[in-house]
Structure 1
Amino acid sequence: MKFITKTIVTLGLTTSLMTASAAALSNDKIRVGMPEEMFLNLVEFVAQENGFYEDQNLEVELVHIADSSIPVRALFAGELDVSQTGMPETLSAIDKGAELVTIGGVHTGLHYTFYVNPDANIETLEDLQGKKLGISGPGTLPHVVMVAMMKEAGMTPEQIEDVTWVSLQGSSSRRNGIVTGIIDATVAGFNPRAVEDPSIGTAFNVPETLPNYVMTPWDTSTKYLEENREVLKRFITAELLATRWVLDNRDEALEVAKTRFDYNEDELIAFYDFYAERIWNPNGMVTPEQAEYMQQLNLEAGMQDNMLPIEEVLDTSIVEEVLAEIGEY
């Protein structure tokens, strides 16, 4: 009887030690809100499939959300840890009292194409006056981008107000809105198949029109930043290393893309070249000047009431730590 009792105690102790050891070795989990699945996210898919997250002892859940206003609310509610779906919404939320902050990003370039209905007679941005324009919703990325482009073209507030905004969530829905005639124009994610579609026209150069625009950086809550700084540092390290691998290994990156997207080789190459040239940011930095520019756009669009101090909306200290360790690209 004593033997049996001793064995049970020993087994219990062994089990406890094994459980503790497994817990010590388990990966930290992080939930990342992102746009609908698109080529933009090749960096994240590579980070998952090639072990960049795992090397940093991370288990990353990618949560794809078409409406870019939802992740901000999810961040505030603690349902997401990081969001990569839009700086304007985050700034607007901070202005209203939300304790959120931008910490950098690898998808900072403006990855939109301007799509138009070929029969809508849109040759200049001024021609948008009186037209039906597709957006995800008021204050979302497509809305802010289109207003910013019209302002850059010198359109007056009265001209900009003389449009009809039509809510269509997701890039594919807005492009379909062009085909069906629901809308006359929209901005949506670059898509080589859509560019070649005769029923959809393209106009203007969105990235060059708004070169300081920050598209989808890493946003998080100040609470999560304070409590999980080391986890965020490992996440940023993995993302930067994966981005650099994608840029340095074009053919291998395209092989990963083939497993994720139903496009032919020429289309995938067009995707890659677009993002590699204009969008992916291998150093992960968002500058104070960019943050100020984004706030100014929000003020002009009525999404923000006050110009906030940069330190209230931007904290790149973790990115700076990572760059000090891995170097700049």
Structure 2
Amino acid sequence: MNSILKTSLLALALATAPITAAMSADAVKVALPSKMFLNVVEFVAQEKGFYEAEDLEVEFTHIADSSIPVRTLIAGDMDIIQAGMAETLVATGRGAELKTVGGVHNGLHYAFWTRPGSGIETIADLPGKNVAISSPGSLPHVVTLALLQKEGVPQSKIDKINWVSIQGSSARINGIIVGAVDATVASYSPEVERSGDANLLKIVGPELPDYIMIPFDTTDRMIEERRDVLKRFIKAQLLATRFVLENKDETLAVAKGHFDYTDEDLDAFYKFYVDGRIWNPNGNISADAATYMQQLNVDTGLQDEVLPVEEVLDTSIVDEVIAEIGTYEK
């Protein structure tokens, strides 16, 4: 082979190498809730190269109604959803072949908001009031029912609540502000809290410590056929979460590119999520928590029976990742 031909082939190889690498990245479609500060982990994972390091091309779709992602997962339109464990458990109880495999957004990031002058001093005051949820059986609905259950409110009184369907946290909070509803579970907002237009009755997370908020849910088929992809995705998520917890300034710089918040608000959000232990840098979900979530569904009429844990939870992939990267101790 002459030197000119060798040079030409080498140039061609170098030119096509980046294209080949890009084409080799595994595509992953993920459904997320409405865009919120919670997902700064995902934004960091993309912009700081955590997905790229695992040879993944991750596409996000934000869906406000938390009951919809489960249907997209079953239909095969999504590979992974981060929507709400309660909805996935309901679908599994009805025969869908789905599993929760871990999660970094396990803590409840919700606040319970009330309308000033509504007369609501405790959760037990909700009967007879207009309470906003996303839709029947959605995450805000189940969380509100869990709070009512904890307060010991009987079903006869719960039946007197007027449930109002309003999709999206911001829309539900706005419903409070304009006086359309009396109370709702919705995301935390420093601006709303400062304004006094809605009263922050309580932070929900500490009230329901065993509640699993927004884990990674996927199909049995995904686990069987693309296990390595799932493992790399979870690894990227855990490493990005640890980065977020260790690098406040860089995290807020990323967040600033996605949200039109003041520096004061961004700092308040970060403090809320870190202090509330909303992000889980180890991605683990216990069998007890999975059972609690199912029992809650049964108690609220969303699920017929508590299924064996192995039918709803598969922690093996997270266990493998932790064995590689170690447990986050801080």
Matched letter for residue 266 of structure 2: L
User: Aligned partners of 1:178, 1:151: CA distance in 2, in Å?
Assistant: 23
Out of 60, 63, 79, the position equivalent to 2:61 is: 63
Aligned to 1:230: 228
Residue number in structure 2 paired with 1:127:
125
- 1:24 and 1:173, CA in 2 relative to 1: closer, same or farther beyond 3 A? closer
> In the alignment, which residue of structure 2 is the partner of 1:315?
314
- Separation in 2, partners of 1:132, 1:86: 23
Q: Does 1:296 align with 2:295?
A: yes
Matched to 2:294, the amino acid is: Q
Cα distance, 1:204 vs structure 2:
2.4
Alignment correspondent of 2:246: 248
Q: Which runs of 5+ in 1 are unaligned?
A: 1-6
Aligned residue pairs: how many?
318
Pick the aligned partner of 1:99 from 97, 100, 105. 97
Q: What residue number does 1:136 align with?
A: 134
1:260 pairs with 2:276? no
Alignment match, 1:166: 164
CA distance in 1, matches of 2:218, 2:43: 21
Letter in 1 for 2:176: I
Is there any run of 5+ residues in structure 2 with no aligned partner, and where?
none
**Shift of residue 218 of structure 1?**
0.1
Offset at residue 276 of structure 1 (A): 1.4
CA deviations on 1:192-226 (whole Å, 9 max, x unpaired) are: 11111221111023111111000000000101111
CA distance in 1, matches of 2:38, 2:222: 25
CA offset at residue 24 of structure 1? 8.4
Cα distance in 2 between the residues matched to 1:25 and 1:199: 50
Range with bigger deviation, 201-210 or 100-109: 201-210
Q: 2:177 aligns with which of 173, 176, 179?
A: 179
SS at match of 2:118: coil
- By how many angstroms is 1:181 displaced? 1.3
Taking every aligned residue pair, what percent have the same amino acid on both sides?
55
- Give the match for residue 327 of structure 2: 328
Cα distance in 1 between the residues matched to 2:198 and 2:188 = 13
1:124-144 per-residue CA deviation (whole Å, 9 max, x = no partner) reads 111111000000000000000
Shift of 1:237: 0.5
Return structure 1 stretches of 4+ with deviation > 3 angstroms. none
Q: TM-score, normalised by structure 2?
A: 0.93
3-state secondary structure, aligned to 2:30: strand
Q: TM-score, normalised by structure 1?
A: 0.93
The one-letter amino acid paired with 1:281 is: N
Residues 36-115 of structure 1 correspond to what in structure 2 (within 5 A)? 36-115=34-113
**SS at structure 2 position matched to 1:158:** helix
